[in-house]
Amino acid sequence: MTDVVRAEWTKLRTSPATVWAVLAVAVGTAALSALAVTTVRCPCAGDPMTLTLVGVQLGQAVAAVFAAGVIGGEYATGMIGVTFAATPRRPAVLAAKALLVSGLVGGAGAVGVVAAWAAGHAALDTGFAARPVFGSVLYLVLVALLGLGAATLTRSSAAAIGLVLALLYVAPIVIGTVGDPDWKRHLRQWGPADAGLAIQASTGLDSLPIQPWAGLGVLGLWAGAALLAGAVSVSRRDT
Amino acid sequence: MIRAEWTKLRTVRGWVAALAGGLLLIVAFSVAPGAGGTCDETCRLPTGPEGQEVTDAFRFVHRTLTGDGSITARVTSFTGERDAGPGRSEPGLVPWAKAGLIVKDGVRPGSSYAAVMLTGAHGVRMQHDYVHDVAGPTGPRTPRWLRLSRDGDTITAAVSDDGNRWRTVGTATPDLPSTVEVGLFVTSPQHAEVSTKVFGLSGASGGPSTATATFDHVGFEGTTAAGWRTQQIGGPSATSAVAGTDGAEEPRPGPPQPASRSSARDGVFTLTGNGDVAPAVSGANGLGFSVTRTLAGTFVGLVPLVVVGAMLVTAEYRRGLLAVTLAATPRRGRVLAAKAVVIGGVAAVLGVAGAALAVPLGTAVMRGNGLYVNAAPTSTVVRMVLGTGLLLALCAVFALAVGTVVRRGAVALTAVLGLTVLPYLLAMSVLPARVGDWVLAVTPAAAFAAQQSAVEYSFVDNLYVPSAGYFPLPPIGGLAVLLAWTVVAFTAALVLLGRRDVR
């Protein structure tokens, strides 16, 4: 397994896209948050923490693109055939990729989220709360894993990104238009973005459709299911 | 060359499936949001003389006037009470609380009228037939004299500070029969405000309000058949108690509703009213769902279109096919133009077809489920359907251009969806209303204004915010913003495609 991880690391390390993606996750997250918090003045009646960490909504797209490209790029160039010839235990390749993606997105996400929080704290005096801040980093990691799983399933970065962004960006909008409050609540409990972002709430937990950690768990289920489906399909299918 | 690009598009099975799926999704999501409701014929809004849905609820002390005549009164006091959070109320008039004189075609809600009134914060106004508003003098509110006179078809409104020197506010010629109801009226709409201190939907606050006005020196000239009668036109319930607003806010219980009442003593009339005489609006102060909701699937259908738009060029880069394409057609700009025509045309057709199916189907399903759907004029529906086609076409060409610039499908896709869907999502969820307005005016997401069905009136208080279905730009303006983004991206793509090597 160490060899597989080392091989994957070499591929990632030498790809210029990796550096750009890691930078973009951190900068995108911090920049959108810094912009957003300049638009309001507190004391605020809403939850300043969700606005402070809004940059995650941009960072997640970059994280998903990066993760999808890690395997989608290999399918695009045919490299995947070489990879699987070298490592016939295909799920191990996927696991190594997941490990490295988690580490890179986790590191970049931590820098971006902490910078976002610092900007928010300076502007809105939000104070520090561990769950929203560290939870947002975990959220970014889980979104990246969802992207990796989706790209393994679809064997195409673009199709995977279409699916993931539909889940992350479009689903909340469509759920918002659902008329029936019960249905809306249930959908918010099971939508990956709506449930996962519950981790950012610092106040008013009673009015949330799902509790913070449970919500992040739902996103974890989505990511896990995508990776599992990817692992199964990659073992059965031709490259 | 267009045929060549069309062949490429139509022979990739996955793309055709994605495009067909996009169309299906637009239609499918129009029928999905149909939740249950209990609306039947009784919770229908009245229709005004010019075809708009209107709110017509007020306290009315009136007598019948046949032929020409006039009514004069002095308003000596005008006070109000409004909702100040759950279970509490505070004194204060809402800006568009109204007290004054009205001449109306009978007492049926929605009938033609002309009125002169004091308002909470907008001075003296003359309004008629719900959608016409003329400003009169501002200044101290009470006491003030008002007069409304009828001469043939013409109604003239006048105002005076002392009852001697009169100033005309305006004239109107509503379509009134020879026998009309003339009298005093008081009403007070839902109050609504957007706080800049709060984010997103929670930034909206509002609730019911009431107004009370005292009139004296009531003078009446003309032929009448009966004395003064007091009546509630419409019901307070018509504006405040029916569930189902278009925003995400649930209707909030307000303070106990004081029953509308009136008393007359020694020629002094005191009226308390709640409601409005105005065009109906969607959102916080409105009732029912707007037709725009049936187009929620556009966001879902947009994704596969943008995917195909970007891949139409990035897939050629990836497989090296672009070198063949450009060898066959060395004029590279034409290749890109042909691709744009093909994907733009396909997207436009899918958008128009999807919306043309989604609007009637979705409306029928929502109505069938007992939800109240605001009526939209045919011209608005046509504009929404054509606008959806243009919106999707521009987004697909935008994706094609960005794909040519960045040469990676996934990156292009993220950039396009991040610029179109993400700003909309943020404006609907976390951003303060003012910032949301700004974001929806400068990003490509502005083009979703083409799907707005609600109408904004300067003389009706409402939360005119994106989450209630009101975009900061008009439909054409919104599409123009997306067009500008597309033109910039397309120009960059042309330049880069001309300069760069194909691999």
Residue A115, pLDDT > 90, answer yes
Burial degree of B14 (CB within 10 A; 0-12, 13-18, 19+) = middle
Q: How confident is the model at residue B197 (pLDDT cuts 50, 70, 90)?
A: very low
Residue B193, pLDDT > 70, answer no
**B28-37, B39-48, B53-62, B493-502, range with the lowest pLDDT:** B28-37
Chain A contact probe: residue of B194, B413, B421, B426 with most A CBs at under 10 A? B413
Residue of B86 and A11 predicted with greater confidence: A11
Q: What is the pLDDT of residue B203?
A: 46
Task: Compare CB distances from A161 to B37, B299, B410 and report the shortest one's residue.
Answer: B410
Yes or no, beta carbons of B296 and A47 under 8 Å apart: no
> pTM higher than 0.90, yes or no?
no
Domain ranges of chain B: 2-27+288-499, 54-279
**Of A24, A33, A113, which is closest to residue A62 (Cα–Cα)?**
A24
Yes or no, beta carbons of A173 and B413 under 8 Å apart: no
Residue A213, sorted as left (phi over 0), alpha (psi -120 to 50) or beta, turns out to be: alpha
Yes or no, beta carbons of A36 and B302 under 8 Å apart: no
**A73-77, B201-205, B309-313, B469-473, range with the lowest pLDDT:** B201-205
Contact between A105 and A141 (Cβ < 8 Å)? yes
CA distance B335 to B322: 10
Backbone angles phi, psi at B285, to 5 degrees: -95, 10
Rg of chain B over Cα atoms, rounded to whole angstroms, equals 28
- Interface predicted TM-score (ipTM) of this complex, two decimals: 0.86
Yes or no, beta carbons of B300 and A170 under 8 Å apart: yes
Chain A contact probe: residue of B199, B246, B316, B431 with most A CBs at under 10 A? B199
- CA atoms lying within 13 Å on the CB side of residue A46: 27
Fold exhibited by the domain B54-279: Jelly Rolls (2.60.120)
Q: Give yes or no for B324 touching A (CB within 8 A).
A: no
Task: Compare CB distances from B289 to A42, A65, A179 and report the shortest one's residue.
Answer: A179
In the structure encoding, which two tokens stand for residue A166, read together?
A: 């539909």
Nearest 5°: the CA angle B88, B433, B196 is: 55
Yes or no, beta carbons of B244 and A179 under 8 Å apart: yes
Strand ranges for B1-122 from DSSP E? 54-56, 58-83, 89-91, 98-104, 113-119
Which value, to the nearest 10 degrees, does the dihedral of the CA atoms of residues B120, B252, B285, B442 take? 110
Backbone angles phi, psi at B117, to 5 degrees: -150, 155
Q: What is the pLDDT of residue A148?
A: 95
SS3 content of chain B, % helix, strand, coil (to 5): 40, 25, 30
**Of B301, B297, B300, which is closest to residue B358 (Cα–Cα)?**
B297
Yes or no, beta carbons of B200 and A46 under 8 Å apart: yes
State the CB neighbour count (10 A cutoff) for residue A214.
13
Q: Give yes or no for B307 touching A (CB within 8 A).
A: yes
Q: Give yes or no for A43 touching B (CB within 8 A).
A: yes
Q: Which residue of B has its CA nearest to A67?
A: B410
Q: Give yes or no for B314 touching A (CB within 8 A).
A: yes
Q: What is the pLDDT of residue B228?
A: 84
CA B487 to chain A, closest CA, distance in angstroms equals 23
Residue B370, pLDDT > 80, answer no
Q: Give yes or no for A39 touching B (CB within 8 A).
A: yes
CA distance B217 to B266: 10
CB-CB neighbors (< 8 A) of B426 in chain A: 54, 57
CA A221 to chain B, closest CA, distance in angstroms equals 23
Yes or no, beta carbons of A165 and B303 under 8 Å apart: yes
Q: Give yes or no for A83 touching B (CB within 8 A).
A: no
Q: Give yes or no for B36 touching A (CB within 8 A).
A: yes
The tens digit of pLDDT for each residue in B20-41 reads 888 888 777 777 655 556 565 5
Yes or no, beta carbons of B430 and A50 under 8 Å apart: yes
Q: How confident is the model at residue B147 (pLDDT cuts 50, 70, 90)?
A: very high
Yes or no, beta carbons of B296 and A69 under 8 Å apart: no
Strand ranges for B152-245 from DSSP E? 154-160, 167-172, 179-187, 191-194, 204-207, 209-223, 229-233
